[in-house]
């Protein structure tokens, strides 16, 4: 019996376990620098649009490529005529390589869309073409800043 206990204990040690090991919950969330958060509190209409668009297109990611944005915008919106008082919004965005034909498009009241458009343009201008972005609805999680380079990788 003593040998069985020694063998059992040895297996725990070799497997890197302890008899009293517990999971520790933390509030640390690692978020890629390219994660892009859209506040559903600040921009509820656009957040609702993005939720539907992500579900329909089955993606919440795109790669910035401003060079051909005009052509992609024209292609995405060609079946959606302008309406007075409304903006046509699309996912993937026209400034993304994946945008254009087949984009999910909705009409949003111009007055409600103006602020979010300005905010999106300002925020997205921080990223160069070729940057993959992962869009999330909600506020950026509060995080502890990791300064040790080894922990970041």
pTM for this structure? Answer: 0.70
Residue 109 scores a pLDDT above 60: yes
Question: Do residues 52 and 115 make contact, with C-beta atoms less than 8 angstroms apart?
Answer: no
How far apart (Å, rounded) are the C-alpha atoms in residues 91 and 132? Answer: 15
pLDDT band, very low/low/confident/very high, at 35 (cuts 50, 70, 90) = confident
**pLDDT tens digit string along 114-153?**
999 999 999 999 999 999 999 999 877 766 655 555 555 5
Q: Which helix (H) or strand (E) holds 61?
A: strand 61-63
Select the more confidently predicted residue: 8 or 36. Answer: 36
DSSP lists the bridge partners of residue 124 as none
**pLDDT tens digit string along 51-72?**
999 999 999 999 999 999 999 9
The predicted pLDDT at position 144 comes to: 61
The structure tokens 């087949």 sit at 102
The predicted pLDDT at position 25 comes to: 53
How far apart (Å, rounded) are the C-alpha atoms in residues 42 and 104? Answer: 22
């Amino acid at each position: 019996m003593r040998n069985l206990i020694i063998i059992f204990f040895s297996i725990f040690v070799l497997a890197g376990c302890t008899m009293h090991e517990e999971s520790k919950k933390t509030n640390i969330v690692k978020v890629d620098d390219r994660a892009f958060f859209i506040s559903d509190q600040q921009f509820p209409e656009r957040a609702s649009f993005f939720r539907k668009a992500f579900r329909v297109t089955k993606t919440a990611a795109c790669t910035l490529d401003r060079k051909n944005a005009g052509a992609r915008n024209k292609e995405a919106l060609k079946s959606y005529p302008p309406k007075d008082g409304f903006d046509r919004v699309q996912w993937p965005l026209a400034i993304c390589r994946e945008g254009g034909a087949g984009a999910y498009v909705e009409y949003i009241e111009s007055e409600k869309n103006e602020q979010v458009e300005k905010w999106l343009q300002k925020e997205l201008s921080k990223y160069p073409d070729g940057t993959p972005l992962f869009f999330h609805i909600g506020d950026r999680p509060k995080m502890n800043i990791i300064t040790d380079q080894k922990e970041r990788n």
